[in-house]
Amino acid sequence: MTDPSPDPARLDTAGIQKRLSAFRDERDWARFHDPRSLTLALAAEVGELAEALAWTGDGDAAIPRDAAADELADIATYLLHLANALDVDLGAEVERKLVTTRERFAGLLPGTPSRAHGGAA
Amino acid sequence: MTDPSPDPARLDTAGIQKRLSAFRDERDWARFHDPRSLTLALAAEVGELAEALAWTGDGDAAIPRDAAADELADIATYLLHLANALDVDLGAEVERKLVTTRERFAGLLPGTPSRAHGGAA
Amino acid sequence: MTDPSPDPARLDTAGIQKRLSAFRDERDWARFHDPRSLTLALAAEVGELAEALAWTGDGDAAIPRDAAADELADIATYLLHLANALDVDLGAEVERKLVTTRERFAGLLPGTPSRAHGGAA
Amino acid sequence: MTDPSPDPARLDTAGIQKRLSAFRDERDWARFHDPRSLTLALAAEVGELAEALAWTGDGDAAIPRDAAADELADIATYLLHLANALDVDLGAEVERKLVTTRERFAGLLPGTPSRAHGGAA
């Protein structure tokens, strides 16, 4: 008898959150990882992404894709550290949110303008 | 013969990125999902997290944990939409970054102050 | 007969906004100064301020005051460019907001907790 | 003998900073106005501006100008509170920055692409 395989369509962050908390503890950084400090660090990384896209125009051609990808990884890293600091399972939160968002937009016809085109709010 | 199981300690975002792009396409939202628009939406969600923590002080007791967890999910959702818009495998980027960060801080003694206590930069 | 002196307690941004629009036009930068681009640039500067304060703790001693002051100037500069791009008199908006905020908090006793301790919302 | 009139092309924030610190002290809010809390509040307001512009596209027609102007005032208010918290004369910092920026871009021909088209960095 084996455990069922994890659903590959669900985001599973348990493993990476554990690795990042080990990474943090090896360096004795837990004392820096309060939610406010990590939120400021997260805002700094989002600022770097914003800087990379500030003068490119909306056309895709000029987008510095590699620089942007690098910033996405930094943002994700602090987001996972934040989830650890708040003792939150980020993957479970994303799943929960996706279900409620799906319900919220259930009756919306394709192409209908919405306040939040990412589904988040 | 089966594929090897995925390494549970690595962040695998392939499945969730596929689901989110399907969610987007069912609503005909791809035309809204350029990198700059999504970055502005991401900054808006980070702003909501910042607002939740602005007046709490650094002590953990007052942290509105559930509200914060909700914002983390919204941030993660736009981050994954951004990865899709930039055609980036977010999990692979996080892994790549974690490896280089580990090397960068390899000689750092525990507790040594660092400019970036999350490991990102 | 002379004009009345401007009220020194009101923020007058007309002169600086004019200088900044001249600065912009001398460099032929108006085509870059759409509201979205400037908002991304503003978010980048706020990110730099956030980075300067991310690991300092709430105690004032460790605050890098000069670096923070420098970021405040950058934020103010993009904010004034944004006001120009939106054809807004920033000083007048601040005055208008301050009056309505004063009314909103008129009955609030000193020290009463408020959702927005800056008066903004 | 009278003092010379203030240069109207310089941003003078002394009066408004004094009014805002009086506004703060009347409500006994100084204890909330540490630099980190105000930076989080500032990031929240920038997030509201970003949200107002996230789905408009770069064309000016769809820009919600009044909502944006309102957010600019909120951002300016927290920026001035931050200047107070850091004991900084914001107008003087903007002037200092404008002079150095003018020197930095002195040799730049009109229309030359620059990393920072606002002049800030």
Residues constituting chain C = 121
CA C81 to chain centre: 11
- pLDDT at residue B37, as a whole number: 95
Give mean pLDDT, residues B30-48: 96
- pLDDT at residue C114, as a whole number: 62
Residues of D in contact with A36 (CB under 8 A): 36, 40
Which residue in chain A is spatially nearest to C46 when comparing CA positions? A47
pLDDT of residue D29 exceeding 70: yes
pLDDT tens for residues C74-84?
999 999 999 99
Q: What is the CATH number of the domain that holds D79?
A: 1.10.287.1080
Tell whether C18 is covered by a domain.
Answer: no
Q: Are C72 and D93 in contact (CB under 8 A)?
A: yes
Residues of B in contact with A22 (CB under 8 A): none
Tell whether A105 is covered by a domain.
Answer: no
Tell whether B119 is covered by a domain.
Answer: no
Write the ipTM: 0.89
Tell whether B102 is covered by a domain.
Answer: no
- Show contacts of D100-107: CB within 8 Å, 24+ apart: D101/C23, D101/C77, D102/C23, D105/C27
- pLDDT at residue C1, as a whole number: 42
List the subunits that have 3+ CB pairs under 8 angstroms with B.
A, C, D
Confidence of residue D57 (pLDDT cuts 50, 70, 90): low
Judged by DSSP in three states, C90 sits in helix
Confidence of residue B102 (pLDDT cuts 50, 70, 90): confident
pLDDT of residue B114 exceeding 90: no
Q: What is the domain range of residue B69?
A: 34-92
pLDDT tens for residues A10-26?
999 999 999 999 999 99
Give mean pLDDT, residues B6-26: 92
Tell whether A24 is covered by a domain.
Answer: no
Full-prediction pTM beyond 0.80? Answer: yes
| Beta-carbon contacts of residue C70 (< 8 Å; ≥ 6 apart) | D93, D97
Tell whether D3 is covered by a domain.
Answer: no
Give mean pLDDT, residues B23-38: 94
What is the count of structural domains for chain A? 1
pLDDT tens for residues A15-66?
999 999 999 999 999 999 999 999 999 999 999 999 999 998 666 667 899 9
List the subunits that have 3+ CB pairs under 8 angstroms with A.
B, C, D
CA B34 to chain centre: 18
- Show contacts of B2-9: CB within 8 Å, 24+ apart: B5/A5, B6/A8, B7/A15, B8/A6, B8/A12, B8/A14, B8/A15, B9/A15, B9/A16, B9/A18, B9/A19
Interface C-D, measured as beta-carbon pairs within 8 A, has a size of 228
Residues of B in contact with D44 (CB under 8 A): 47-48, 50-51, 54
Tell whether D38 is covered by a domain.
Answer: yes
Tell whether A79 is covered by a domain.
Answer: yes
Residues of B in contact with A105 (CB under 8 A): 27
